[in-house]
Structure formats: structure tokens, C-alpha cells
Structure 1
Amino acid sequence: MDPQLKLPRTRRFATLRRAVGLLRDFRFEQTRPDIFYGNVATDTAELVDALLTDIRGPSGTSALDGQLILDVGGGPGYFAEAFHRRGATYLSVEPDVGEMSAAGIDVAGSVRGSGMDLPFGDAIFDVVYSSNVAEHVDKPWRMGEEMLRVTRPGGVVILSYTIWLGPFGGHETGLWEHYVGGHFARRRYERKHGHPPKNVFGESLFDVSCAEGLTWGREVDGARLIAALPRYHPGWAWWMVKVPILREFLVSNLVLVLEKT
């Protein structure tokens, strides 16, 4: 079965205009994070809303209305307001105190903790998602299993991460340097800027592939893989996820959508 055939609302959301707009915003990631992450937060809430609508059927309100949401790796709090506007109860977990306070945003439901050992009991949340975090931990699939553990039966896990061989796999260290090697990209960045990058290869940035995520999503116990799609691509380009090797270079960011059984 091809799960992507059952996502009409999400396909309509995934337009070329959206893709171009998000790509343009990427240039502000380091210099104006409020612009970049503010727009990504709005986009994320809209994406989750569209996915839930496709999974559970349309309703008279936002599909997020009344949902208890956990954001794994919520960072400085840009995402909270985007979900609150849609009627969700939003909690985030973040291991880095400095990252939590970096933007000066007060998030009442922000908890310090590790995605590899979430400080919550079993089967609590309606939706658990993580945006661009898995490539920053050395055991991303353990984090995925923790996300499933705290999700209630029938709830949804959305795990989105940057593919290493995609153009943004090296993050701020460059568009091509990581193809030579992660350590090379780090050293070149340090020579050019006079300081280490925020994301240090082998410490806070890892080479996670598209194939690894797809294999984990299909084989993990206690969940059903509903969809696997490129996060920032228009709907007509989703076919790239199905093509081995090509997907590692062109998908850029993979979204895995699982339903807890």
C-alpha cells in the first residue's frame, strides 16, 4: 500500500510557493532566527494540522483543536504560539537550558529533558513530533521509540529530520563541504569564521540517511508507518522518497508519520 495516496489535504498544502518561501527563509537561520524559526513554526503547525485532517477526517475546526502536543527538541519556544493559535495544548522538551532561553520566549509548558529518555509516562500525548532534531543526536531511532512510548494508542508521531547527503546536511558548514566529509566541513568553517560551528560533526551533528529512517519506520514495533514524504518539497515531488540513492541527495528533509497501535 502506498500511504501517500491517502493524504489529499497535505498534498494541497505542499505547494511550490510554500517550498520557495521556506527556502528563501533559510538564509536567515543564523542572522535572524526569529524570521526563520517563526515561519518554520507556523509551517509546522499547518503541516501537522493537514496530516491529522487526512488521518482522522475533516472536522469543523482545526484538527489540532483540543490535542495534547509534545514537541521533542522544542528549542527557544518559537513553535508554542503557532500551536496554541490552533487550539492545541503544547508542551516541549529540550535538553539545553541555553537553547530554551535563547529567544527570550516564555513557554509555560517547557520541560528540560532528553529526547532519548523523555521525562513523561507512557501513552500520554495525542501527537508527538520532532522537527530537525534527529540529525543532532547519536541515537535518533532510540529517540523515535521514546516518542512512540509517550504517545497514546491511536495517536500520531511525526519525526522530521535533515538528510545528511542532501544540500543542507552540513547545516551552516556549507552546501558542498560535507560531501567531502563532516570533519573537513567543520575545519573549513573554523578557518573561515574563526570559531567552531554551532553544529559540530560527530558531537551535535550526525550523518543520518533517508534509508535508515524508512527502515526504522517500517520495522518499529507498536506503530504503523502512514506516510514518508519530503518536508519542504511540493506534493508533485514526493515520488523522490521511493527512489533509492536519488532520495539521499534530493529529499533534503524526510517526514515520517506513524500511528501508534
Structure 2
Amino acid sequence: MTAAGFRDPSPRRSLTLFRAFLREQRDPEACYALLARDAADQVEAYGKVAGKVVVDVGGGSGHFTREFRARGATGILFEPDTGELGPRPPAATVVADGYLLPLADGSADVTFSSNVLEHVADRDTFLSELVRVTRPGGLIYVSFTNWFSPWGGHEWAPWHYLGAERAQARYRRRTGKAPKHTLGENLFAHHIGPTLRHVRARDDVSVVSARSRYWPFLTEAVARVPGVREFATWNLLLILRRCPP
């Protein structure tokens, strides 16, 4: 089910995000600020964040954390890669791995993870840690780019459909530099079907919504069709609710 206030996003919103994505290399600040506002709106479809503790796991340079703080939340960024933090990370940023967060059980009202899951080898342990630090009744937001998405290979997409090694070699020939991502090292082939089966089988969370993050219509319907969803969803958004112990 979805939140009472959630509606399928508009084609205009999807087009605006896509145009910002095309300008990411030239204007990353504007791109990620827009994405942060959009993600915060998605979270707040399930309740305002003002006065709540929002834990941003793997949030890079902190755009999401800043947006949640601007909306009145106590936002805390946990990022394992100091190279991703940029020159001005948010105050009180913690360098920590998402597999082992330095937080007590049930510390967060909202645990947020945007486009991190495809960069972790052990999907199940990562998700378990997000669940552990979320209070009973709290919200868990997880989105990721699945492997068969048109952007599954990241900077060497869509050539990943022809194989990772071939796609990475093409990227090196075309750009004269090594790609940022290497399959099996910092990019992993996670799929929607197995991920949905995993979260639905857990007894510590309930699945509130599973849908395409950017698709402009029938967002939940496209994520329900086996096979098709692996290509058409582009990016899966999971909204989970922490169950009481």
C-alpha cells in the first residue's frame, strides 16, 4: 500500500530530474540539490521530518542531509568514503561503514539510503543494519539502480548489457581514463526480483511501497511485473516500516 498523501509523480517532474541528470557533470550542485528536495518530498509523503532524527547512510557530500536539516530534522550523515565528502561536508558528519553504523538500536526515526545498495557487496547485511538502527514504527527509505536498468553500468552504461568487461574497455578507449566503477569491486549486480523477495520475507519490516523512483506513471505497477521491471523500473524505491520486536 502507499501513503494516503502519495500520488504518482508527474511526467514534468520526471523530465525535470532527467534534464538535471544530463547536466550533472557540468553543474553537480544544482543536480543533487534538486534530487535532495525531491527525495525529501518522497519521505515526507509519509510524515513530516521536522523534529525527527534522520540518518543518511552513504549520502556522499551531504546534499540529502542538508535538505532534511532545512526541513527541521536532526540529520546525521554517515559516509565511508572520505573522497566523496567534498570540501564542505555537513557538520557532525561521521565516517562510517553502512555495514556497521556506530548507532544504538532504534536510534533513527527515518533511515535514508539513496543509490548506495548497488555499491555494496552484501545486500542483506547492509539492509539489516538500516533496519537495526531504525526505531519500531520508523521509516526506511532505500533506492538503488538495479543491474539491468539502462543506467545499471553507471558511467559505462548502456554498454553493460554487452558485458561489464567489454563496457569498461570501451569506456577506457573513449575517454582515455579508467572508469570510476568496477563490477565486483565498487559496483554490484543487484536485481529487483531477489531484493523484493528478500524484504518481503523479513519479519522485522513491512513493505509499505515498492516502486520506480523516477517513473512518471504507474510507479508501483511497473515494479510488479517480473522481467519487465528489471529494465523498465530504472531505479527501485523501497519504503519500509520497522516492525515492533
Q: TM-score, normalised by structure 2?
A: 0.95
Distance 1:71 1:221 in 2: 23
TM-superposed CA distance for 1:47, in Å, is 1.0
Cα distance in 1, alignment partners of residues 56 and 66 from structure 2: 12
- Deviation per residue, 1:164-205 (Å, 9 max, x gap): 11111111112x201011222111111111111112222111
1:158 has 2:154 as partner: no
**2:187 match:** 205
Provide the C-alpha distance between the structure 1 equivalents of 2:221 and 2:213, rounded to a whole number of angstroms. 12
Question: Aligned-pair distance for 1:257?
Answer: 1.2
* Aligned residue type for 1:239: A
Give distance in 2, aligned partners of 1:40 and 1:246: 25
- Are 1:230 and 1:255, in contact at CA under 8 Å, matched by a contact in 2? yes
Partner in structure 2 of residue 244 of structure 1? 226
Match of 2:161 in 1: 179
Which of 15, 24, 30 matches 2:19?
Answer: 24
Q: Does 1:136 align with 2:131?
A: no
Is the Cα–Cα contact under 8 Å of residues 133 and 161 in structure 1 kept in the other structure?
yes
CA shift, 1:106, in A, is: 3.5
Match of 2:206 in 1: 224
The Cα shift of 1:133 comes to 0.4
User: CA shift at 1:220, angstroms?
Assistant: 1.8
User: C-alpha distance in 1, partners of 2:148/2:118?
Assistant: 12
Q: How much has 1:139 moved relative to structure 2?
A: 1.0
Offset at 1:8?
Answer: 4.1
Q: Mind listing any 5+ residue stretches in structure 2 that lack a counterpart?
A: none
Local SS of the residue matching 2:5: helix
Partner residue in 2 for 1:59: none
Choose the corresponding residue for 1:79, options 37, 45, 64: 64
RMSD (CA atoms): 1.3
Q: Is the 8 A contact 2:213 2:219 kept in 1?
A: no
Q: Give the Cα–Cα distance (whole angstroms) in 1 for the partners of residues 219 and 137 of structure 2.
A: 29
Checking the alignment, whether the CA contact within 8 Å between 2:77 and 2:94 is kept in structure 1 is yes
- Identity score, percent: 39
Partner residue in 2 for 1:41: 36
Q: Distance in 1 between matches of 2:65 and 2:72?
A: 11
What is the CA distance between 1:231 and its match in structure 2? 0.3
Contact 2:103 2:133 in 1 (8 A): yes
Structure 1 residue 118 and structure 2 residue 113: aligned?
no
The DSSP-based 3-state class of the residue aligned with 2:177 is coil
In 1, Cα distance between equivalents of 2:4 and 2:228: 25
Residue 10 of structure 1 aligns to a residue whose secondary structure is coil
**What are the ranges of 5 or more consecutive residues in structure 1 without an aligned counterpart?**
54-62
In 1, the alpha carbon distance for the partners of 2:69 and 2:156 equals: 34
Provide the residue aligned with 1:60 in structure 2: none
Q: TM-score, normalised by structure 1?
A: 0.89
Higher helix share: 1
How far, CA to CA, are the matches of 1:137 and 1:99 in structure 2? 15
Q: Which runs of structure 2 are paired with 1:59-74 in the superposition (5 Å)? A: 63-74=48-59
Counterpart amino acid of 2:122? K
Check whether the contact 1:217–1:256 (CA below 8 A) recurs between aligned residues: no
